[in-house]
Amino acid sequence: MERRQWSGGGNGQGGAGSSVNRGGLQPGGVAPVGGPGPGGRRFGTKIEKPRDMRGTLRRLLGYLRPHRVTLVLAAILVVASTFLDLVGPYLNGVAIDRFIVRRDLVGLGRIVLLMIGVYLVVWALRVVLARLMVAMVQKMMRTMREQLFGHLQTLSLSFFDQHPHGDLMSRLTNDLDALGRLLAQNVTDLIGGLLSLVGIVVMMFSINFWLSLGSMFVFPLMLWFTGWVGKRTRQGFRDYQMRIGQLNGELEEIFSGQRVIIAFGQEGSTLSKFDRVNEETRDVGIRAQTYATLIPPLMGIFSNANIAILAGLGGWMVIRGWATVGTILTFYNYSRRFAGPLRQLGDLYNQIQSALAGAERVFELLDQQPEILEAPNAIVLDKVKGDVVFDHVNFSYVPNVPVIKDMSFHAEPGKTLALVGPTGAGKTTMINLLSRFYDIQSGSIRIDGVELRDYNKASLRRKLGVVLQDTFLFSESVMENIRYGRLDATDEEVIAAATLANADQFIRRLPQGYQTELSERGSNLSQGQRQLLAIARAILADPGILILDEATSSVDTRTEQHIQQALLRLMEGRTSFVIAHRLSTIREADTILVINDGEIIERGTHQDLLAQRGFYHHLYMSQFRGQGVAEV
């Protein structure tokens, strides 16, 4: 009997099975196969931004509720430190009027020591406050990162098809970091500044009513200007952070394609493209920062104007005997402190706008709803016979652009079904649908008689094994990359899987054997070696249904033989779907489906299809004519 040889191909990750935590893929999962059909990933998609600042603040408060005790303690520390800080200027005035004017050195010494003690206590309270806030905010940021990352794992592939990866990374890192800095460093300053303003006003009016009115003259102007600039600053930072996300997306794509860029000598055009995006980011950043830098200097102008008013009014009142020098000094210190919180609040306002813009972008992701939903009382797929039925299936990535058209076929348990056809015919899409990376528009897909959408997604994907042409490997050891197929596997089980995959020999020749660390995407291994690791990973996962998508099309003949031997072991007793362009490698398939333009146009065995002298016959013969061989 002739020995079967198999080849597959495609573009994705070799792996098998899947487990889902909170609805998302986790280690051991089936890699996405293919993309969103014509057009692929659409980079640079502008996302509609929410404008509800109050709503954003309310949602942030929800993350602070678990830290109520810490917040109450922090509030007490802020109030205490602010109150004690306001005591200093008052003690200055007392020192002048009661001790310096009267030349009381003993009393002056005591009040100086009291002032030093007050400021030391203020310093200690603020150190404790800073430590409390940093610890609380880091816990909150960890929770938000976990929630955002976990939510991203639940989103459908169509979402990732349409959003630049760099922008998503920017939201998960830059935007959350901006929010963390705001909460850890600026919230207490904001509260302390507001309390300082209130305390200063109370203290000033309790000392001298008319001097207080004079000091308040420029306050309405400060408030109006801060509000006017703040609206424009918030919009500027929102646009800037969106541009940063697009810039990150551009960088991610460039770094991923660096080999292609160098191979085709496109460094110059790539640099020009990056410069264009970088210039756009610069222009938006200039606009945002220009508004942001308006507040501090103008706050300084208002502050100096206030001092001038106080000097004139206060001097006149001292001359008339309506105030003392100590009172004027107290008001001078309070006025300087009054301007300080205002100037600080102006700076904080800009940072708040930036952080809230980032928070809006984070919440925007959290509000995205997954398209692939878990059915109520979903069935856990435990044991798989491998009976697969496509029943009048229709599917399109884009509305009114069908990719799969009224497709029906039956793959019997333990049989091998091959899918052939031209590029773009819909073969990989069929695998995407079988893995439930996308949901069909009409028809039915059943495994062992149960509708695909009735299965628990985690258990379904754990029973699917995928071996693809472009294997994805992680920057970890060889051992851990194989163990990704089943995380609870022992080292002995990993080595046994590698042996069955014909990978053990080359692994042991690596510098550290199974503990050899792989570079990004496994680039320090050959294509064939990466493929063998993918097969070992699939063997370890022990899937019930196997998918081979052009698994040997990019390797030499000798390596292909090693891979085919491993695939034969892997396919034994399993329902297998083989996507192949090398038609000579699928001659022993139980059934061959010829796909063109999303439809099955021919089906049968290799000999049956050749005898029909149709589309398959034409494809098969054209391949061998190109090799100068006539084979039927």
Q: What is the pLDDT of residue 350?
A: 64
Per-residue tokens: 567: 């695939």
The counts of H helices and E strands in the chain are 22, 13
> Residue ranges of the domains in the chain?
15-32+379-626, 156-177+208-367
Torsion sign (Cα): 307, 308, 312, 315: positive
Identify residue 438 by its one-letter amino acid code.
Y
| CA nearest to 593, candidates 396, 424, 425 | 425
Position of tokens 């509305």? 399
| Runs of H (alpha helix) within 463-556 | 478-483, 491-500, 504-508, 527-541
pLDDT of residue 259: 64
| Closest by Cα among 437, 482, 485 to 462 | 485
What pLDDT shows up at residue 13? 36
Backbone angles phi, psi at 197, to 5 degrees: -60, -45
- Element containing residue 2 per DSSP (H, E): none
Give CA–CA dist 197/163, Å, rounded: 45
The answer, yes or no, to whether residue 398 has pLDDT greater than 60, is: yes
Q: How far is CA 632 from CA 595, 613, 621, in A?
A: 21, 11, 8
- pLDDT band of 106, cuts 50, 70, 90: confident
20 membership: H or E segment, kind and range: strand 19-21
- Tell whether the model's pLDDT for residue 17 goes beyond 70: no
Distance CA 191, CA 496 (A): 62
Alpha carbons within 13 A on the beta-carbon side of 309: 18
- Predicted confidence at residue 600, as pLDDT, reads 92
**pLDDT at 417 > cutoff 60:** yes
Among residues 93, 73, 91, 69, which one has the least CA distance to residue 81?
Answer: 73
- Identify the CATH number of the domain defined by range 15-32+379-626: 3.40.50.300
As a whole number of angstroms, the distance between CA 470 and CA 256 comes to 14
List beta partners, residue 455: 379
**Which two structure tokens, joined as six digits, stand for 465?**
């094994």
Which of 274, 228, 282, 235 is CA-nearest to residue 251? 274
Per-residue pLDDT tens over the stretch 235-293:
777 778 778 877 877 787 777 677 667 766 777 878 888 888 888 888 888 877 777 77
- Domain 15-32+379-626 shares a fold with domain 156-177+208-367: no
DSSP state letters, 431-484 = HHHHTTSS--SEEEEEETTEEGGGB-HHHHHHTEEEEESS----SSBHHHHHHT
- β-pairing, 388-395 with 442-447? antiparallel
pLDDT digits (tens, 9 = 90+) for 209-224: 877 777 777 777 777 7
For 42-70, how does the pLDDT look when each residue is reduced to its tens digit (9 = 90+)? 333 333 333 567 778 888 888 888 888 98
- Kindly tell me if the per-residue pLDDT of 26 is higher than 70: no
Say if residue 603's pLDDT is above 70: yes
Backbone angles phi, psi at 600, to 5 degrees: -85, 115
- Say yes or no to pLDDT of 193 above 80: no
Q: Is the pTM of this model over 0.85?
A: no
Percentage of the chain lying above the pLDDT 70 cut: 83
Q: How many CB atoms lie within 10 A of CB 551?
A: 33
Residue of 243 and 21 predicted with greater confidence: 243
583: enclosing H helix or E strand: none
Name, of 313-322, 406-415, 452-461, the range with top average pLDDT.
406-415
Reading phi first (left if > 0) and then psi (alpha if -120 to 50, else beta), residue 423 is in beta
Provide the token pair at 597: 């333009």
CA 61 vs. chain centroid, Å, equals 22
pLDDT at 625: 57
Is the CB of residue 486 less than 8 Å from the CB of residue 461?
no
pLDDT score, position 5 = 37
Tell me the C-alpha distance between 623 and 247, whole Å: 44
**Which residues are paired to 596 by β-bridges?**
599
CATH of domain 156-177+208-367: 1.20.1560.10
State which H helix or E strand residue 23 sits in: none
CA gap 171, 176 in Å, rounded: 7
Residue 22 has pLDDT above 70, yes or no: no
